[in-house]
Amino acid sequence: SDPSSSTTTSPSSAAAIISRFQQYLQINTAQPTPQYYEAIDFLLSQAKLLSLESQTIEFVPGKPLLLLKWPGSNPNLPAILLYSHTDVVPSEHNKWIHHPFSAHIDDNGNIYARGSQDMKCVGMQYLEAVRGLKASGYQPLRSIYLTFAPDEEIGGHDGAEKFAESEVFEKLNVGVVLDEGLASPDENYRAFYAERTPWWLIIKATGAPGHGAKLYDNTAMENLLKSIESIRRFRASQFDMIKAGLKVDGEVVSVNMAFLKAGTPSPTGFVMNLQPSEAEAGFDIRVPPTTDSESLEKRIAEEWAPASRNMTFRFKQKGSANDKFGNRMITKTDSSNPWWALLEDAIRNAGGKLGKPEIFPASTDARYFRRQGLPAIGFSPMANTPILLHDHNEFLNQDEYLKGIEIYESIIKAYASYMENIGENRESKDEL
Ligand code: MET
Ligand SMILES: [Zn+2]
Ligand SMILES: [Zn+2]
């Protein structure tokens, strides 16, 4: 038979691997109407070919979470969880050079798709790494779980949050979680030991309504603008520390205005000669794990939305700072956490380089596992790649993707072969 044709049709060939990645990318799982069942069906068909055990769980109807298992030979040892989310953020199709669900590969080998970086790459790379390890005859000591979860991009409340709090999860006896990281424009991969927690703040001003021609105090618009100015100054103070090179993204509080809602609408536009009695603004705030959240809350109550200026505030989302044992949600990177050193070694052994441990500047579902007191590491093997998550023209180069599979084979092997019984009695250890 023709050897070249058998290479291209073999499931382990690069062409077959890339084609499976494209297939996953082509499923439209964009919020707010992700096609979850199509994604799960595709992943399940892959899991069957790999003889993995599978279970689909719907903590909330219509929001399936796929749980796969490669059983280890020693089920008493805590297991490894390879975590990914199936949903992606929406995209403005007509502003992309290739349609975001085409998974088009250009002449440079760049694969364009929403989710190519965040984080369908990682989900499929886990599966491909499992395929490679199985083909090599590897047998894990620890059980390996793969989770494909819904709704990360809208907060993870009906996905990872419920999963991490479930009895199903407790029974898995997970010892360490891998979740997403970020692309790196240089040759060093990035790994994250913590993340900023999201506070989605809505402030509302009320004030006296009146004629558009009148100057008077305590209008809703004026009250809101004073707050916006105060928030803008705070934002600048945080950004200045980054600009001065004193801090990096994950170490300061970010505040960005997400919306402004004010005015009196009419069929022909906003009414111009009427000062509205209400005005609202929404802010995406990200709080580092080291920030004193009480003082930030005080700042919000006293400076950004003071009752004395007829302001109120509420949180659309407010992540917790501490885990369920009252500890800060920070995964250790020192010798007390062998998973970190194992990760570093495994990446190096596969020919990759890892930069310094970082705080993830945005938010991931890893926070729900850290909240359970578990070590969770954010890592997406994308070096030499511009950071394009949530951006137009998100892409990942196919060679980087293939390299990432080798990196995961090395990591999974190191993790699932690790003998030491760790990750147990965490609660009592913290009390000592
Ligand atoms: C705030 S929920 C997390 C959604 C997304 N990963 C983000 O960081 O914006
Ligand atoms: Zn993500
Ligand atoms: Zn995202």
**Closest listed ligand to the CA of 360:** 1
Pairing of strands 395-397, 110-112: antiparallel
Task: Looking at the CA of residue 362, tell me the nearest atom of ligand 1.
Answer: 8
265-282: burial string, b at 16+ Cβ within 10 Å, e else: eeeeeeeeeebbbbbbbb
pLDDT at 420: 83
Q: Work out which ligand 1 atom sits closest to the CA atom of 153.
A: 4
Ligand 1 site-directed mutation target among 87, 201, 364, most atoms within 8 Å of CB: 364
Active-site residues: which are they? 87, 152
Q: Which residues line ligand 1 (CB under 6 A)?
A: 152-153, 155, 198, 362-364
User: In the prediction, which pLDDT does 92 show?
Assistant: 96
Ion ligand 3 residues within 5 Å by Cβ: 118
> Which residues sit in the known binding site?
85, 118, 153, 180, 390
CA 117 to centroid of ligand 3, rounded, Å: 9
| 58 Cα: distance to centroid of ligand 2 (angstroms) | 20
If one residue of 84, 88, 153, 287 were mutated to test the ligand 1 pocket, choosing by the most ligand atoms within 8 A of its CB, it would be 153
Cis peptide before 32 (omega within 30 of 0): yes
Q: So what's the pLDDT on residue 314?
A: 98
CB 213 within 8 A of CB 272: no
| Rounded Cα–Cα distance for residues 83 and 347 (Å) | 18
Which amino acid, 270? F
Residues lining ion ligand 2 (Cβ < 5 A) are 118-119, 180
Q: pTM to 2 decimals?
A: 0.91
| Distance from Cα 85 to the centre of ligand 2, integer Å | 7
pLDDT score recorded for residue 422: 61
Q: What's the ipTM?
A: 0.97
The confidence score (pLDDT) of residue 425 equals 43
Closest-CA residue, ligand 1 atom 5, reads 153
Instruction: Give the Cα separation of 208 and 278 in Å (integer).
Output: 9
Who's near 191: CB < 8 A, 6+ residues apart? 181, 340, 343, 354, 355, 357, 358, 377, 378, 379
Binding region for Zn(2+): 85, 118, 153, 180, 390
Pocket probe mutation, ligand 1, options 84, 320, 363, 387, max atoms within 8 Å of Cβ? 363
Nearest CA to ligand 1 atom 2: 155
- CA–centroid distance, residue 394 to ligand 3 (Å): 11
Structural domains present in the chain: 9-195+328-431 (3.40.630.10), 197-287+291-318 (3.30.70.360)
Ligand nearest to the CA of 114: 3
Which ligand is the nearest neighbour of the Cα of 153? Answer: 1
Atom 4 (ligand 1) nearest CA: 153
Q: What is the 3-state secondary structure (H, E, C) of the chain?
A: CCHHHHHHHCCCCHHHHHHHHHHHHCCCCECCCCCHHHHHHHHHHHHHHCCCEEEEECCCCCCCEEEEEECCCCCCCCEEEEEEECCECCCCHHHCCCCCCCCEECCCCEEECCCCCCCHHHHHHHHHHHHHHHHCCCCCCCCEEEEEECCHHHCCCCCHHHHHCCHHHHHHCEEEEEECCCCCCCCEECEEEEECEEEEEEEEEECCCEECCCCCCCCHHHHHHHHHHHHHHHHHHHHHHHHCCCCCHHHCCEEEEEEEEECCEECCEECCCEECCEEEEEEEEEECCCCCHHHHHHHHHHHHCCHHHCEEEEEEEECCCECCCCCECCCCCCCCCHHHHHHHHHHHHCCCEECCCEEECCCCCHHHHHHCCCCEEEECCCCCCCCCCCCCCCEEEHHHHHHHHHHHHHHHHHHHCCCCCCCCCHHHHHHC
Closest-lying ligand 1 atom to the alpha carbon of residue 363: 8
Q: Which ligand is nearest to the CA of 122?
A: 2
Question: Which residues of the chain fall short of a pLDDT of 50?
Answer: 1-4, 6, 424-432
